Every structure is written in structure tokens, then in C-alpha cells.
């Protein structure tokens, strides 16, 4: 079938169509790609490695705060700040990951400890005057300054997040087909057996953690630049952790396209609900909760898993 | 300094009693179902709203509302278990975790849709009552909440020790295979355990309404606190949860007294991470949840 | 100690709390040798495997493989030294195909995906799972899973392979086939240490038989001699399970 043509056409459409779209639709698309990107980052560790982080907001927040603070205090362009944030987040990811994995935390215990790490960072940010405490930080100077990651309208932001999302998918695909991808899958399926077969579980998990947290932090910088405002609960709060995990689960954890597909389904539903039920805050997240329950009950391998089970011949290509 | 310390200890112990009851319910559910229930705090929030509305609409005292919310939330818990969790028994461990997360998101935002995000409070005639013991202030509603919580938790512990249903629950928690072999209706007992756990946390919610605000996200902090308590006390260890409740209550309260702002939470989370890393089986050496 | 000594275990002891699972246990497996490790249920055989493969830390004693101490090494590091194991309860990567399962092992000796796939495919054929190559492991039958377990270990290219009851739960025809497979593995130059309850198989395969009882070694020698050792007979008579020599 259109094995190669399909994705190519989709990318072409995503690149060509947006200039023609009304502003509202463009904003929704940016949201779709943004959460798809976060999902893809989470997917590297959670989907492929089976390590369900509930605290990816920690890395997101580190990214958002690092680039914004570097910009506000030292005038460093967020393009560079983004990388600095990524490195800092990866370092934190290695630290948290080493502690968790070294002490043998698996399954739900790993989820809990990551949640705790993210919450600790949130509490610190709330209480730290130098980083704006609970008032948050404003990214000033709205106007066009591409060198400073500032654009006058939405379209450039769209292309930035499009490149980020496609880049994350490309990285995922590379990992899936590499030695690391097999090692991660083995750890996800059975960590003891993986070790017995010569997989260095600790190093493999740490590598996935570092990559996943680095990329997640880049998403934080994008958020700060796009919305021009960050605060502790927006960036370090559980909503961001769930916002990355959910599209991956719904689309198909441990598959390349799953997170983006999941976001293409979830995000418009959420936006639509919000638009229709104006003034009824929470209806969209309530729906998310329901969808999460339904997906796990009826499509435990997500949308991609469901497609595959309907076309059994098109499993993992050899 | 001494006074501040004593005051913090008293506040911490009073808070700890409530945490203990919340965590006992969570621990019971974990012991029997092997699920870390993310919806626990959301059920507590619903319990608080139930007491709030019973007070506002019918004028029922929050303490008396327990007689209504207890049975009501027992049934709700059984329904959640029967409809959402039981059909997915065979699902991967993390998927079961996500199921309870889905339930939490659903309830929390249902409350937001129905009642908006405003903080609501129940003002009863004893809301402001307090007395001094050697200069240390003791608020009456907090004392009643802590005392009531401990009594209910102990009563529940007695129930688990003495009754047939209680013994079945303990058997399932301690020897799942054996329980199946001796012919316990495992699915039903799982439902009962989820029901009791939910009733516990709803009752805890009712007990705090005379002095605590009610809002859709009020359960979140209690939920995380309960995770800390349960991990401290040992997953599935019922009495451990009660003791853990006091430890966390004390840690939080002392943190609040001696640290600026909301950094007290850092003490609690720090404790949580350290216990998770060093003694995931809990301070009191209960079984490890795999 | 020079290399080429195979596996040398001496004075190995493992305590779990107050329980002594393995006590002052000695064992050697020379290069090219097939050694059978037998004993009643609970004798400590699987614990010895866990200790050798790095899943437990010994309380006392030493374990050396080709002169290198294995004590304190992680399982994957031990595997890379050329010592692989199988699990008594088969533990396939259920979501991966047969070939992918074996590839995980093959990556020890080749970082290239194509190369790992080629080696894995060869081993999948070697153990007779060729027709089941692209089937997810969760759909394999028990005998096939046992073969997969062996194939995954073999793909790491060990010089010593520890097999933990790869015949349990199989019927006589299937056992015959596994015996043939083990002989062919040995012919590739792999030494073997085998835990097995199927006495007929272990007597047929082993060059030497080691018997454990209550965590201690009670006999070590030629299979025909050991099987008639009064202490061994007594140890087995204490039990009335399937473990009795047949």
C-alpha cells in the first residue's frame, strides 16, 4: 500500500496548507503538534522503554525556565537557551533516573517517584523569588525578532513546532530500528530476561531518559516563546505530564506515529469542547478522562495498535 | 521556639489522623487490587462536596452526613471497580494505573463543570471553636476530625480482623493464590475492598469540611499526601498507613512552622522520594508490591 | 589463575535472612564439558544459577569464569563475558517476534542491526524455530518457548550455557528433540551446565553429575557412579515427587 507515500503526503500537506488556514484553525494545529511533540518525547522512555513517567513536566519546566531566565537576565537568545535548557533537563533526568533505577524502582513506583520530582521542582519554583515565584515570568517585547525566537504572527511558530514534531518522530524511528530500540523493547517486556540476554538495562534506560528529557525541555522553551508567559503550575504542574502521556497512550505507546496521531484525535476534541461549552471550564479534561478509560478498556494498544490488528500483515517490517 | 514547635506538633498530629484514614483506604485498595489508585483524592473531593451540599441544602451536620456519604461512596467505589477496573484485570500494570488516572480526571473536572472552581466552605457553629492547653491552641473541629478518623480506621481494622468479609479481604491481600483456592469470590471481594476504601476517604472528606475549603482540585494534595503515607507505612499495610499518616502530618506541620512559604511540601516530597528509594517496602517492612 | 579454566565455583554460600539456600558449594565446569546439576526440589540448584549469572550476590565464596571473578558483576556484564543462562520459567519478550527476541541476544556480539538479524536468523533456524520466525513470542507453544529461551541465550555466543529445566513440561518426543539440540549446541564448542529433573535425559547428556541436597554438594562424579551413590539415593527417597531417579 502507500507505505512510504502516505507519510510523505501528510508531511507535504502539513507544510503547504497552513498559510491558507484561518487563524483559529492554525492555533488548533499548533496545539496538535505541540502535544504530539510532547507525546513523542514521552514515548521514547515510556512507550519504548516501558518506564511510565508521570513527571515529565519537570523537564518541560526546566526548559521553559532556563531559556526564559537566560533571555531576561543575560539577553541570551532562546534558540541557544533552548539547548542549555535541554542539557540541564537531561542532567536532571540522569540524576532522577539514576536514583530511581539504581534503587530498582519499577512500574508504578517509578511513576510515583517521577511525579514527586516534578512536584518538588514546582514547589521550589513557587517559592523562589529570583525565578518569579508563583507570579511567573513574562517574555517581553512582542514583535518580530526571529533571532530571539519571537514572531509577530502564528505562522512561524507553526513551522517551528512542525519541524520539532517531525524531528522527534524521525529520532523515534531511528531509535526503533537501532540496537537501542531492541534493548528498550526487551527491557519493557521483561527486564530480568533482558539483562540475562546481555542488555545493560541501567545504561539503556538512562540513555532513553536523557534523550526524552532533553527533547521535552525544548518543548518548554517553545511554550514560553509562543505563549510569552510561564508560571510554576503551568510548566511544572501535572497537566503537562499528562499532556505528553495521553496522546502517546491514545495513539499507541511504543509506535513512531502514535503520539502525533493521538494528538490529532485528542487536541481538536478538547478545543472543540472548550469552544462549544464556553464558560464550562473542565469539560474538555473531563472528556480526556473518559477517553483515557475507553482507550485502555477497548484499544489497549492505542489507535496504531488497533490499525495493525486489523491489518495483521503490516506488522513490524523485517 | 518551643511554643512554635509544640504548636506545630499538635497541628501535625491532628492533620495526621485525617491523612491516616485517607491513606488506610488507599492502602486497603492497593493490598487487594495491587493498584495505586490515582482516583482516591478525587473520591475524597466528591465526598467533601456531598457533605457540603447535604449541609447547604438539607442542613445536615457534616459529621452526621457520614451516615449518608459512607454507604453512598461504598456503592460508588464498588461501581468504579466493577465498571472500570474489573474488566481490565488482565491489562498491563501501568494501564491500570492510567485507568484510575482517567477516573480522577473525569471526576475532578465533572466537579469543575458542575460547581466551578470557587472555594466553598461549610460554616457550622463550632467551626471556630478552640481551646488552649498550656498555650497551645487546639481547634475543636480538627480534634474531632483526627479523633474520628483514627476511631474509624481502628474500627475498620477490627472489621478486617474479625468478620468473614474482613478475613476474605486480608486473605486476598496476603495470599492471592491461596484465597482463590479456598473458594473466595475474588471479584466480589475486590469490589468490596474498593468500596470500603472509597467510603473511608469520603468519610475523611466529610470530617474535614468544617475547617477545610471544598474545591474540585482539593483532593489532589490529599491524594499525593496519601501516596507518601502509604509508601511510608508500607503498601497494603493498614496500621502502617495510620502511623505513616501521623509522620507525614508532623513533617508537613513542622515544615510549615520552620520553612518559608509553601516549602513545607518539599519536606513531604523529600521524605517520599527517600522512602521510595531506600525502603519501597515501607518503614514497617510490609510486603513489597512487586 | 590462567584463562581457559571454564567455571570455577568454590565455597559458595547464600543466605536469605536466616535461611541458608546454598552452603559451601564447590563446582567446576571445564571447557567442553557437559555437567548435570541435580537434586531434590528446593536443594538450591536454581539459586546457584542466580548467583553465577549475577542475579543474586553471594554471601560468601568465589565464582570465576575463565579466571575472571563474577562476584558483584551485573547479569549483562556476565553475559558479555561469554556465560549465558535460561530461565526455569520461560521469560520471552512476549510482544516481540521470535526473531526479534533472539536479536536482543545477538546484539551482544554485533552492534549492526543487519548483522544481528543475520546471526539471529541463523540461530532461529538452528534451534528449529525457522517456521515460527516472525510470530510474536506470546503466540508460541511451551516447547517452542523453551527453544526460544535457548536460542536467545545461544545468540549471545556463550562459551558456557546454563540451562535451567528446559525439558520440564515437555512430552517424551519433545524431550528427545531437545536432547538432540543440546548435543548440537555442545558440538558448536559450548560447555553446558544443566539443571534437569528428567533423569533419563541428564544421564544421557552429562559427562559428569553433581548432586545438591539442602544447599550442599553430596556427590560429584561419573553419572553411572553417582546415580548409585547411597547418599544420593537416600536424598531422593526422602522425596516422593517426580524428582526420583527413573
Nearest residue on chain A to C49, alpha-carbon basis: A196
Interface touch A201/C77, C-beta < 8 Å:
no
CA angle, B17 then B19 then B20, to 5°: 60
Mean per-residue pLDDT for B145-174?
87
Chain C closest-CA separation from residue A148 CA (Å): 41
Nearest CA in chain A to C103: A182
State residue B280's pLDDT score.
Answer: 62
| CB proximity list for B198: less than 8 A, separation 6 or greater | B25, B40, B43, B73, B74, B76, B77, B80
Least confident of A84-88, A138-142, C168-172: A138-142
Q: Do A117 and B273 touch (CB under 8 A)?
A: yes
Measured between CA atoms, the residue of chain A closest to residue C151 is A197
Q: Give the whole-angstrom CA distance, residue A261 versus residue A264.
A: 5
* DSSP, res A21: S
Confidence check: pLDDT of B8 > 60: yes
User: C239 in contact with A at a CB cutoff of 8 Å?
Assistant: no
- Cβ–Cβ gap C75/A195 under 8 Å: yes
- Band of residue C119 on the pLDDT scale cut at 50, 70, 90: very high
- The residue with cell 530571539 is A148
Give residue B2's pLDDT band: very low, low, confident or very high (50, 70, 90). Answer: confident
Closest CA–CA distance from residue B279 to any residue of chain A (Å):
9
How close A292 comes to chain B (CA, Å)? 5
Query: What's the rounded Cα separation, in Å, for the pair A267 and A28?
Result: 8
Give which of A104, A180, A182, A316 to mutate to test C binding, by max C Cβ within 10 Å. A182
Mean pLDDT of A187-192: 94
Instruction: Write out the three cell numbers for B242.
Output: 495510620
Beta bridge partners of C220: C210
For the segment C87-97, the average pLDDT, to the nearest whole number, is: 91
Q: Does any CB of chain A come closer than 8 Å to the CB of residue C134?
A: yes
Q: What is the pLDDT of residues A224-271, one digit of tens each?
A: 999 999 999 999 988 899 999 999 999 999 999 999 999 999 999 988
Residue A315 pLDDT grade (very low, low, confident, very high; cuts 50, 70, 90): very low
Q: How far is A193 from chain C (nearest CA, A)?
A: 6
Contacts of residue C44, Cβ cutoff 8 Å, sequence gap at least 6? C14, C21, C22, C23, C25, C212, C214, C215
Name residues whose C-beta falls within 8 Å of residue C108's C-beta, 6 or more positions apart in sequence. A197, A198, C79, C80, C155, C156, C157
Q: What percent of chain B stands above pLDDT 90? A: 36
Kindly state the average pLDDT of the residues A32-51.
Answer: 97
**pLDDT of C1 higher than 50:** no
Given this model, what pLDDT does residue B179 score?
A: 72
**Which of the residue ranges B180-184, C8-12, C43-47, C205-209 would you say has the lowest mean pLDDT?**
B180-184
Instruction: Identify whether the C-beta of residue A165 lies closer than 8 Å to the C-beta of residue A36.
Output: yes
C-alpha cell recorded at residue B40: 482516591
Q: Which residue is associated with the grid cell 571454564?
A: C6
Q: Which residues of A touch C85 (CB under 8 A)?
A: 196
> How far apart, in whole angstroms, are the C-alpha atoms of residue A171 and residue B23?
42
Q: Which residue of A has its CA nearest to B112?
A: A282
CB contact under 8 A, A116 and B260: no
Contact B261 A99 (CB under 8 A): no
**Cell numbers representing residue A5 in the block:** 507515500
**Stretch B85-109: mean pLDDT, rounded?**
90
d(Cα A51, Cα A213) in Å, to the nearest integer? 13
pLDDT at A19 over 90: no
Pair B226, B22: CB distance under 8 Å = yes
Looking at residue C29, what is its pLDDT?
95
Q: Say if CB A89 and CB A62 are below 8 A apart.
A: yes
Q: What is the pLDDT of residue A314?
A: 42
The answer, for A179 touching chain C at a CB cutoff of 8 Å, is yes
Average pLDDT of span C193-209: 91
Cell of B161: 480482623
Is A199's Cβ below 8 Å from some Cβ in C?
A: yes
Of A179, A190, A197, the CB nearest to C79: A197
Residue C104's φ and ψ, nearest 5 degrees, are -55, -40
Mean pLDDT of chain C: 90
* pLDDT value for C4: 56
| A58's grid cell | 519537570
Alpha carbons B202 and B50: distance in angstroms, whole number: 9
DSSP type of residue A299: -
The pLDDT tens digits of the residues spanning A106-164 come to 888 899 899 999 999 999 999 988 888 889 999 887 678 888 898 988 999 999 999 99
Can you tell me the distance from the alpha carbon of B40 to that of B33, in angstroms, rounded to the nearest whole number?
14
Q: How far is C11 from chain A (nearest CA, A)?
A: 24
Q: Mean pLDDT, to the nearest integer, of B226-242? A: 82
C-alpha cell at A182: 531492541
Query: Would the CB atoms of A111 and B290 count as touching at under 8 Å?
Result: no
**Structure confidence by residue, pLDDT tens digits, B100-153:** 999 999 999 999 999 988 889 888 888 778 888 888 888 888 888 889 899 998
Check pLDDT > 60 for residue B285. no
Q: Quote the pLDDT of residue C243.
A: 45
Top-ranked range on mean pLDDT: pick from A208-222, B198-212, C220-234: A208-222
List the one residue out of C195, C109, C203 whose CA is nearest residue C154: C109
What distance in Å separates residue B48's CA from the closest CA in chain A? 19
Closest residue in A to C135 (Cα) is A315
CB-based contact C95 A188, cutoff 8 Å: yes
Higher per-residue confidence, C208 vs A3: C208
Nearest in space to A43 (alpha carbons), one of A304, A307, A316, A314: A304
Helix A107-127 vs helix B93-115: crossing angle, to nearest 10: 40
Please say whether the beta carbons of C155 and C103 come within 8 A.
Answer: yes
A187 near C CB under 8 A? no
pLDDT at position B83 over 80? yes
Closest approach of C56 to chain A, Cα-based (Å)? 12
Name the residue facing B105 among A107, A116, A285 (closest C-beta).
Answer: A285
For residue C154, give Cα distances in angstroms to B38, B90, C151, C159, C183. 43, 32, 5, 9, 13
Mean pLDDT of C1-28: 85
Nearest to A195 among C74, C93, C116 (CB): C74
Contact B37, B266 (CB under 8 A): no
Cell of A255: 509506535
Contact: A197, C100; criterion CB under 8 Å: no
- Residue A128: helix, strand or coil by DSSP? coil
Beta bridge partners of C211: C38, C219
Stated as kind and residue range, the H or E segment containing A260 is helix A258-276
Chain A nearest-CA distance from B262, in A, is 7
CB A235 within 8 A of CB A64: yes
pLDDT at B286: 44
Chain A partners of C53 at a C-beta cutoff of 8 Å?
196
Q: Which residue has the higher pLDDT, B30 or C116?
A: C116
Nearest Cα neighbor of A63 from A187, A226, A242 is A226
Interior CA angle at C210 toward C208 and C211, to 5°?
145
Contact A293/B102, CB-based, under 8 Å? yes
Q: Residue B167's pLDDT is what?
A: 85
Residue percentage of chain A with pLDDT more than 90: 69
pLDDT in tens, A98-108: 999 988 888 88
CB contacts of A186 in chain C (<8 Å) are: 93, 96, 104
pLDDT of res. C238: 64
Question: pLDDT tier at A312 (50, 70, 90 boundaries)?
Answer: low
**Predicted confidence (pLDDT) at residue B281 exceeds the cutoff of 80:** no
pLDDT given at position A317:
41
Of C104, C111, C156, the CB nearest to A186: C104
Q: How many CB pairs under 8 A join A and C?
A: 93
pLDDT over 60 at C115, yes or no: yes
CB contacts of B111 in chain A (<8 Å) are 282
Residue B282: partners with Cβ closer than 8 Å, 6 or more residues away: B230, B231, B232, B233, B234, B235, B237, B240, B244, B275
Contact A/B (≥3 CB pairs under 8 Å): yes
SS3 A16: helix
Question: Strands across the sheet with C68-69, in order?
Answer: C19-29, C7-16, C60-65, C68-69
ipTM attached to this prediction: 0.89
Q: What is the 3-state secondary structure (H, E, C) of chain C?
A: CCCCCCEEEEEEEEEECCEEEEEEEEEEECCCCEEEEECCCCCCHHHHHHHHCCCCCCCEEEEEECCEECCCCCHHHHHHCCEEECCCCCCCCCCCEHHHHHHHHHCCCCCCHHHHHHHHHHHHHHCCCHHHCCCEHHHCCHHHHHHHHHHHHHHCCCCEEEEECCCCCCCHHHHHHHHHHHHHHHHCCCEEEEECCCHHHHHHHCCEEEEEECCEEEEEECHHHHCCCHHHHHHHHCCCCCCCCC
What is the arithmetic mean of pLDDT over C46-69? 94
pLDDT at C237 over 70: no
Q: Determine the average pLDDT of the residues in A203-211.
A: 97
Distance separating alpha carbons of residues A293 and A287, to the nearest angstrom: 10
Among residues A183, A257, A299, A36, the alpha carbon closest in space to that of B95 is found at A299
The CA angle B178-B184-B190, to the nearest 5 degrees, is 100
Chains in contact with A, counting 3 or more C-beta pairs less than 8 Å apart as contact: B, C
Phi and psi (nearest 5°) for B175?
-135, 75
pLDDT per residue over A274-307, tens digit each?
A: 888 777 778 888 998 999 999 999 998 899 988 8
Q: What is the pLDDT of residue A3?
A: 65
Residue C225 predicted with pLDDT over 50: yes
- pLDDT (0 to 100) of residue B34: 85
Alpha helices in chain B (DSSP H): 2-33, 40-53, 62-80, 93-115, 140-162, 164-174, 176-181, 186-208, 218-233, 238-258, 264-278
Q: Average pLDDT of C218-243? A: 77
Amino acid at each position: 500500500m502507500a507505505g512510504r507515500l502516505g507519510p510523505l503526503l501528510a508531511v507535504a500537506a502539513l507544510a503547504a496548507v497552513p498559510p491558507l488556514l484561518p487563524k483559529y484553525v492554525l492555533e488548533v494545529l499548533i496545539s496538535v503538534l505541540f502535544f504530539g511533540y510532547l507525546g513523542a518525547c514521552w514515548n521514547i522512555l515510556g512507550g519504548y522503554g516501558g518506564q511510565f513517567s508521570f513527571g515529565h513536566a519537570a523537564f518541560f519546566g526546566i526548559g521553559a525556565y532556563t531559556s526564559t531566565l537566560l533571555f531576561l537576565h543575560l539577553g541570551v537568545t532562546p534558540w541557544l537557551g533552548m539547548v542549555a535548557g535541554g542539557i540541564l533537563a537531561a542532567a536532571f533526568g540522569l540524576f532522577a533516573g539514576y536514583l530511581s533505577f539504581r534503587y530498582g524502582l519499577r512500574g508504578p513506583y517509578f511513576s510515583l517517584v517521577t511525579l514527586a520530582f516534578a512536584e518538588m521542582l514546582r514547589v521550589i519554583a513557587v517559592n523562589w523569588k529570583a525565578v518569579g515565584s508563583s507570579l511567573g515570568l513574562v517574555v517581553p517585547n512582542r514583535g518580530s525578532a526571529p533571532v530571539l525566537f519571537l514572531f509577530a504572527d502564528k505562522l512561524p511558530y507553526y513551522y517551528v513546532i512542525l519541524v520539532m514534531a517531525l524531528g522527534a518522530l524521525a529520532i523515534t524511528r531511528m531509535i526503533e530500528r537501532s540496537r537501542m530500540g531492541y534493548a528498550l523493547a526487551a527491557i519493557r517486556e521483561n527486564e530480568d530476561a533482558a539483562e540475562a540476554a546481555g542488555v545493560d538495562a541501567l545504561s539503556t534506560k538512562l540513555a532513553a531518559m536523557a534523550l526524552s528529557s532533553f527533547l521535552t525541555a525544548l518543548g518548554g522553551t517553545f511554550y514560553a516563546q509562543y505563549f510569552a508567559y510561564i508560571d510554576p503550575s503551568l510548566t511544572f504542574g501535572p497537566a503537562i505530564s499528562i499532556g505528553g502521556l495521553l496522546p502517546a497512550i491514545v495513539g499507541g505507546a511504543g509506535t513512531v506515529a502514535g503520539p502525533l496521531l493521538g494528538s490529532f484525535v485528542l487536541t481538536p476534541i478538547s478545543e472543540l469542547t472548550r469552544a462549544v461549552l464556553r464558560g464550562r471550564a473542565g469539560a474538555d479534561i473531563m472528556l480526556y478522562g473518559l477517553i483515557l478509560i475507553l482507550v485502555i478498556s477497548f484499544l489497549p494498544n492505542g489507535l496504531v495498535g488497533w490499525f495493525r490488528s486489523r491489518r495483521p500483515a503490516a506488522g513490524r517490517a523485517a | 521556639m518551643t511554643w512554635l514547635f509544640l504548636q506545630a506538633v499538635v497541628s501535625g498530629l491532628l492533620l495526621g489522623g485525617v491523612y491516616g484514614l485517607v491513606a488506610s483506604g488507599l492502602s486497603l485498595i492497593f493490598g487487594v487490587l495491587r493498584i495505586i489508585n490515582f482516583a482516591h483524592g478525587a473520591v475524597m473531593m466528591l465526598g467533601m462536596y456531598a457533605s457540603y451540599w447535604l449541609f447547604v441544602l438539607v442542613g445536615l451536620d457534616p459529621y452526621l452526613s457520614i451516615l449518608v456519604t459512607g454507604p453512598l461512596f461504598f456503592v460508588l467505589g464498588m461501581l468504579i471497580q466493577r465498571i472500570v477496573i474489573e474488566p481490565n484485570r488482565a491489562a498491563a500494570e501501568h494501564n491500570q494505573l492510567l485507568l484510575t488516572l482517567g477516573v480522577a480526571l473525569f471526576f475532578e473536572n465533572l466537579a469543575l463543570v458542575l460547581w466551578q472552581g470557587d472555594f466553598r466552605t461549610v460554616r457550622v457553629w463550632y467551626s471556630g471553636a478552640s481551646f488552649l492547653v498550656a498555650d497551645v491552641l487546639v481547634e475543636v473541629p480538627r480534634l474531632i476530625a483526627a479523633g474520628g478518623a483514627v476511631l474509624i480506621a481502628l474500627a475498620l481494622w477490627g472489621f478486617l480482623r474479625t468478620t468473614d468479609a474482613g478475613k476474605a479481604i486480608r486473605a486476598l491481600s496476603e495470599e492471592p493464590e491461596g484465597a482463590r483456592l479456598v473458594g473466595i469470590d475474588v471479584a466480589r471481594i475486590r469490589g468490596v475492598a474498593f468500596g470500603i476504601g472509597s467510603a473511608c476517604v469520603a468519610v475523611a472528606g466529610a470530617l474535614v469540611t468544617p475547617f477545610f475549603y471544598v474545591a474540585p482540585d482539593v483532593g489532589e494534595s490529599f491524594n499525593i499526601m496519601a501516596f507518601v503515607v502509604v509508601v511510608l507505612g508500607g503498601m497494603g499495610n493498614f496500621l502502617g498507613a495510620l502511623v505513616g499518616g501521623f509522620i507525614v502530618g508532623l513533617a508537613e506541620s513542622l515544615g510549615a512552622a520552620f520553612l518559608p512559604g509553601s516549602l513545607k511540601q518539599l519536606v513531604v516530597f523529600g521524605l517520599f522520594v527517600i522512602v521510595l528509594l531506600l525502603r519501597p517496602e515501607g518503614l514497617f517492612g510490609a510486603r513489597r508490591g512487586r | 589463575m590462567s584463562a581457559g579454566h571454564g567455571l570455577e565455583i568454590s565455597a559458595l554460600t547464600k543466605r536469605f535472612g536466616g535461611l541458608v539456600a546454598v552452603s559451601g558449594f564447590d563446582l567446576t565446569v571445564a571447557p567442553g564439558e557437559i555437567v548435570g546439576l541435580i537434586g531434590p526440589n528446593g536443594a538450591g540448584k536454581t539459586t546457584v544459577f542466580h548467583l553465577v549469572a549475577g542475579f543474586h550476590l553471594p554471601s560468601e565464596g568465589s565464582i570465576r569464569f575463565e579466571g575472571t571473578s563474577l562476584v558483584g558483576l551485573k547479569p549483562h556484564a556476565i553475559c558479555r563475558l561469554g556465560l549465558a543462562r535460561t530461565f526455569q520459567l520461560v521469560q520471552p519478550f512476549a510482544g516481540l517476534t521470535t526473531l526479534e527476541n533472539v536479536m536482543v541476544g545477538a546484539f551482544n556480539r554485533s552492534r549492526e542491526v543487519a548483522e544481528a538479524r543475520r546471526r539471529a536468523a541463523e540461530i532461529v533456524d538452528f534451534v528449529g524455530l525457522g517456521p515460527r520466525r516472525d510470530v510474536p513470542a506470546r503466540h508460541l507453544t511451551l516447547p517452542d518457548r523453551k527453544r526460544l529461551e535457548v536460542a536467545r541465550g545461544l545468540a549471545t555466543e556463550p562459551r558456557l550455557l546454563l540451562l535451567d529445566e528446559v525439558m520440564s513440561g515437555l512430552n517424551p518426543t519433545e524431550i528427545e528433540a531437545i536432547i538432540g539440540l543440546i548435543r548440537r549446541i555442545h558440538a558448536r564448542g559450548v560447555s553446558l551446565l544443566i539443571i534437569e529433573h528428567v533423569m533419563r535425559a541428564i544421564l544421557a547428556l552429562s559427562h559428569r553429575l553433581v548432586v545438591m541436597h539442602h544447599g550442599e554438594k553430596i556427590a560429584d562424579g561419573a553419572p553411572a557412579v553417582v546415580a548409585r551413590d547411597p547418599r544420593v539415593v537416600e536424598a531422593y527417597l526422602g522425596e516422593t515427587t517426580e524428582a526420583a531417579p527413573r
